[in-house]
Amino acid sequence: MPKQKDLKRLVRSRMRKTGEAYTAARLQILDKRPKKNYAELAGMSDAAVKKNTGRSWQQWVDVLDREHAAEKRHRDIARFVSSLGTPDWWSQMVTVGYERIRGLRAIGQRRDGTYEASKSRTFNVPVEQVYEAFANERTRRRWLDAKVRVRTATRPKRMRLAWDDDTVVDVGFYAKGRGKSTVAVQHQKLPSKAAADAMKKAWAEQFARLDQLLA
Protein backbone atom coordinates (compact mmCIF):
# COMPACT_ATOMS: atom_id res chain seq x y z
CA MET A 1 0.00 0.00 0.00
CA PRO A 2 1.45 3.46 -0.88
CA LYS A 3 2.70 5.63 1.95
CA GLN A 4 0.57 8.62 2.93
CA LYS A 5 2.73 11.08 0.96
CA ASP A 6 2.50 8.85 -2.12
CA LEU A 7 -1.28 8.69 -1.76
CA LYS A 8 -1.49 12.49 -1.59
CA ARG A 9 0.63 12.78 -4.71
CA LEU A 10 -1.68 10.39 -6.59
CA VAL A 11 -4.76 12.23 -5.38
CA ARG A 12 -3.45 15.64 -6.43
CA SER A 13 -2.47 14.25 -9.82
CA ARG A 14 -6.00 12.94 -10.34
CA MET A 15 -7.46 16.29 -9.20
CA ARG A 16 -5.51 18.10 -11.89
CA LYS A 17 -6.75 15.68 -14.55
CA THR A 18 -10.40 15.43 -13.50
CA GLY A 19 -11.15 18.63 -11.61
CA GLU A 20 -12.52 16.57 -8.69
CA ALA A 21 -12.41 17.76 -5.09
CA TYR A 22 -9.67 16.24 -2.92
CA THR A 23 -12.02 13.88 -1.06
CA ALA A 24 -13.69 12.62 -4.24
CA ALA A 25 -10.34 12.05 -5.96
CA ARG A 26 -9.01 10.26 -2.88
CA LEU A 27 -11.98 7.88 -2.84
CA GLN A 28 -11.45 7.02 -6.49
CA ILE A 29 -7.79 6.22 -5.85
CA LEU A 30 -8.65 4.10 -2.82
CA ASP A 31 -11.33 2.21 -4.73
CA LYS A 32 -8.73 1.05 -7.28
CA ARG A 33 -6.88 -0.86 -4.56
CA PRO A 34 -7.75 -4.42 -3.57
CA LYS A 35 -11.04 -4.61 -1.68
CA LYS A 36 -10.72 -4.13 2.06
CA ASN A 37 -12.57 -5.83 4.87
CA TYR A 38 -15.25 -3.22 5.46
CA ALA A 39 -16.57 -4.87 8.63
CA GLU A 40 -13.09 -4.84 10.16
CA LEU A 41 -12.56 -1.19 9.28
CA ALA A 42 -16.02 -0.21 10.56
CA GLY A 43 -15.56 -2.11 13.81
CA MET A 44 -18.86 -3.97 13.44
CA SER A 45 -19.79 -7.24 11.77
CA ASP A 46 -21.47 -7.34 8.40
CA ALA A 47 -24.15 -9.65 9.80
CA ALA A 48 -25.08 -7.17 12.56
CA VAL A 49 -25.37 -4.16 10.31
CA LYS A 50 -27.38 -6.05 7.67
CA LYS A 51 -29.75 -7.53 10.26
CA ASN A 52 -30.52 -4.11 11.77
CA THR A 53 -30.44 -1.88 8.68
CA GLY A 54 -31.23 -4.16 5.75
CA ARG A 55 -27.91 -3.41 4.03
CA SER A 56 -24.41 -4.89 4.21
CA TRP A 57 -21.35 -2.66 4.60
CA GLN A 58 -20.63 -3.00 0.88
CA GLN A 59 -24.15 -1.82 0.08
CA TRP A 60 -23.90 1.09 2.51
CA VAL A 61 -20.57 2.17 1.05
CA ASP A 62 -22.07 2.09 -2.46
CA VAL A 63 -25.13 4.11 -1.38
CA LEU A 64 -23.16 6.71 0.56
CA ASP A 65 -20.44 7.09 -2.07
CA ARG A 66 -23.12 7.92 -4.64
CA GLU A 67 -24.21 10.73 -2.29
CA HIS A 68 -20.59 11.96 -1.93
CA ALA A 69 -21.05 11.40 1.81
CA ALA A 70 -17.32 11.52 2.53
CA GLU A 71 -17.43 15.24 1.71
CA LYS A 72 -20.29 15.93 4.12
CA ARG A 73 -20.55 16.62 7.84
CA HIS A 74 -21.30 13.76 10.23
CA ARG A 75 -24.80 14.96 11.06
CA ASP A 76 -25.69 15.36 7.38
CA ILE A 77 -24.60 11.79 6.65
CA ALA A 78 -26.58 10.51 9.64
CA ARG A 79 -29.65 12.45 8.51
CA PHE A 80 -29.44 10.89 5.04
CA VAL A 81 -29.00 7.38 6.48
CA SER A 82 -32.01 7.95 8.74
CA SER A 83 -34.10 9.16 5.77
CA LEU A 84 -33.72 5.67 4.26
CA GLY A 85 -35.69 4.21 7.17
CA THR A 86 -32.75 3.29 9.40
CA PRO A 87 -33.45 3.36 13.18
CA ASP A 88 -31.89 6.31 15.02
CA TRP A 89 -29.17 4.38 16.82
CA TRP A 90 -28.20 2.47 13.70
CA SER A 91 -28.12 5.65 11.64
CA GLN A 92 -25.27 6.76 13.89
CA MET A 93 -23.57 3.36 13.73
CA VAL A 94 -23.70 3.28 9.93
CA THR A 95 -22.40 6.85 9.70
CA VAL A 96 -19.50 6.17 12.05
CA GLY A 97 -18.69 2.89 10.28
CA TYR A 98 -18.67 4.59 6.90
CA GLU A 99 -16.40 7.37 8.17
CA ARG A 100 -13.99 4.73 9.47
CA ILE A 101 -14.08 2.83 6.18
CA ARG A 102 -13.31 6.00 4.25
CA GLY A 103 -10.43 6.96 6.54
CA LEU A 104 -12.16 10.00 8.02
CA ARG A 105 -11.67 8.72 11.56
CA ALA A 106 -10.02 5.82 13.37
CA ILE A 107 -11.97 3.33 15.48
CA GLY A 108 -12.97 5.18 18.62
CA GLN A 109 -12.12 8.57 17.09
CA ARG A 110 -14.56 11.32 16.10
CA ARG A 111 -14.32 13.61 13.11
CA ASP A 112 -13.01 16.46 15.32
CA GLY A 113 -10.02 14.34 16.44
CA THR A 114 -11.35 13.47 19.90
CA TYR A 115 -12.15 9.90 20.90
CA GLU A 116 -15.19 8.06 22.22
CA ALA A 117 -15.83 4.89 24.19
CA SER A 118 -18.86 2.72 23.45
CA LYS A 119 -20.28 0.07 25.74
CA SER A 120 -23.58 -1.78 26.01
CA ARG A 121 -25.15 -4.26 28.41
CA THR A 122 -28.41 -6.17 28.68
CA PHE A 123 -30.26 -6.20 32.00
CA ASN A 124 -32.99 -8.54 33.16
CA VAL A 125 -35.39 -5.73 34.06
CA PRO A 126 -37.92 -3.65 32.06
CA VAL A 127 -36.52 -0.68 30.17
CA GLU A 128 -38.41 1.80 32.39
CA GLN A 129 -36.58 0.49 35.46
CA VAL A 130 -33.08 0.79 34.01
CA TYR A 131 -33.95 4.23 32.63
CA GLU A 132 -34.94 5.36 36.11
CA ALA A 133 -31.59 4.14 37.47
CA PHE A 134 -29.96 6.71 35.19
CA ALA A 135 -32.53 9.48 35.62
CA ASN A 136 -32.87 9.46 39.41
CA GLU A 137 -29.87 11.27 40.92
CA ARG A 138 -29.99 9.44 44.24
CA THR A 139 -30.13 6.03 42.56
CA ARG A 140 -27.47 7.02 40.04
CA ARG A 141 -25.01 7.87 42.81
CA ARG A 142 -25.25 4.29 44.09
CA TRP A 143 -23.66 2.79 40.99
CA LEU A 144 -22.14 5.56 38.85
CA ASP A 145 -18.79 6.76 40.18
CA ALA A 146 -18.84 10.24 38.63
CA LYS A 147 -20.35 13.69 39.00
CA VAL A 148 -22.80 14.15 36.16
CA ARG A 149 -25.92 16.08 35.25
CA VAL A 150 -28.69 15.20 32.83
CA ARG A 151 -28.67 17.63 29.90
CA THR A 152 -31.54 16.17 27.87
CA ALA A 153 -33.76 13.14 28.25
CA THR A 154 -36.60 11.40 26.42
CA ARG A 155 -38.25 8.78 28.63
CA PRO A 156 -37.53 5.88 28.28
CA LYS A 157 -35.52 6.07 25.05
CA ARG A 158 -32.47 8.29 25.34
CA MET A 159 -30.50 10.58 27.60
CA ARG A 160 -27.50 12.90 27.32
CA LEU A 161 -25.25 13.28 30.36
CA ALA A 162 -22.62 15.95 31.02
CA TRP A 163 -19.52 14.90 33.01
CA ASP A 164 -17.67 17.36 35.25
CA ASP A 165 -14.59 16.99 33.00
CA ASP A 166 -16.49 18.44 29.99
CA THR A 167 -16.97 15.03 28.35
CA VAL A 168 -20.50 13.94 27.42
CA VAL A 169 -22.34 10.63 27.22
CA ASP A 170 -25.19 9.67 24.90
CA VAL A 171 -27.28 6.86 26.36
CA GLY A 172 -29.79 4.74 24.46
CA PHE A 173 -32.37 2.50 26.16
CA TYR A 174 -33.95 -0.41 24.27
CA ALA A 175 -36.69 -2.81 25.33
CA LYS A 176 -35.78 -6.43 24.60
CA GLY A 177 -39.08 -8.16 25.16
CA ARG A 178 -40.83 -8.65 28.46
CA GLY A 179 -38.64 -7.95 31.46
CA LYS A 180 -35.38 -7.36 29.59
CA SER A 181 -33.63 -4.26 28.22
CA THR A 182 -30.34 -3.06 26.77
CA VAL A 183 -28.43 0.13 27.52
CA ALA A 184 -25.82 1.46 25.10
CA VAL A 185 -23.53 4.40 25.92
CA GLN A 186 -21.22 6.53 23.80
CA HIS A 187 -18.81 8.52 25.97
CA GLN A 188 -17.58 11.39 23.80
CA LYS A 189 -14.93 14.13 23.72
CA LEU A 190 -12.23 11.97 25.28
CA PRO A 191 -8.72 13.32 24.61
CA SER A 192 -6.94 10.13 23.47
CA LYS A 193 -7.30 6.47 22.57
CA ALA A 194 -5.83 5.55 25.96
CA ALA A 195 -8.50 7.63 27.69
CA ALA A 196 -11.18 5.95 25.57
CA ASP A 197 -9.87 2.47 26.42
CA ALA A 198 -9.84 3.35 30.13
CA MET A 199 -13.36 4.74 29.98
CA LYS A 200 -14.67 1.66 28.19
CA LYS A 201 -13.29 -0.45 31.03
CA ALA A 202 -14.82 1.93 33.58
CA TRP A 203 -18.24 1.62 31.98
CA ALA A 204 -18.00 -2.18 32.09
CA GLU A 205 -17.33 -1.95 35.84
CA GLN A 206 -20.14 0.54 36.43
CA PHE A 207 -22.59 -1.57 34.43
CA ALA A 208 -21.65 -4.50 36.68
CA ARG A 209 -22.52 -2.41 39.76
CA LEU A 210 -25.79 -1.34 38.13
CA ASP A 211 -26.65 -4.95 37.40
CA GLN A 212 -26.15 -5.83 41.08
CA LEU A 213 -28.31 -2.88 42.14
CA LEU A 214 -31.13 -3.80 39.78
CA ALA A 215 -31.03 -7.42 40.86
The predicted model gives 60-65 an average pLDDT of 94
The predicted model gives 40-67 an average pLDDT of 93
- Work out whether the CA dihedral 154, 87, 207, 178 comes out positive or negative: positive
Q: What are the Cα distances from residue 206, in Å, to 96, 131, 144?
A: 25, 15, 6
Instruction: For residue range 164-201, list pLDDT tens digits in order.
Output: 899 999 999 999 888 999 999 999 999 998 999 999 99
Residue 43 pLDDT: 87
Q: What are the Cα distances from residue 92, in Å, to 10, 97, 172?
A: 31, 8, 12
Instruction: For residue range 101-127, list pLDDT tens digits in order.
Output: 988 888 778 778 888 898 999 999 999
Label residue 2 by pLDDT band (50, 70, 90): very low
Label residue 64 by pLDDT band (50, 70, 90): very high
168-175 and 158-163 strand pairing? antiparallel
Percent of the chain with pLDDT over 90: 61
Residue 194 pLDDT: 92
* CATH architecture under which domain 115-214 falls: 2-Layer Sandwich (3.30)
Percent of the chain with pLDDT over 70: 92
| pTM, two decimal places | 0.59
* Interatomic CA distance for residues 172 and 185, integer angstroms: 6
Instruction: For residue range 19-44, list pLDDT tens digits in order.
Output: 888 877 777 766 654 457 899 999 88
Q: Any idea what the Cα angle at residue 124 is, between residues 117 and 168, rounded to 5°? A: 25
**Domain coordinates of the chain in residue numbers?**
4-101, 115-214
Instruction: For residue range 130-162, list pLDDT tens digits in order.
Output: 999 999 999 999 999 999 999 999 999 999 999
Residue 144 pLDDT: 96
The predicted model gives 53-65 an average pLDDT of 95
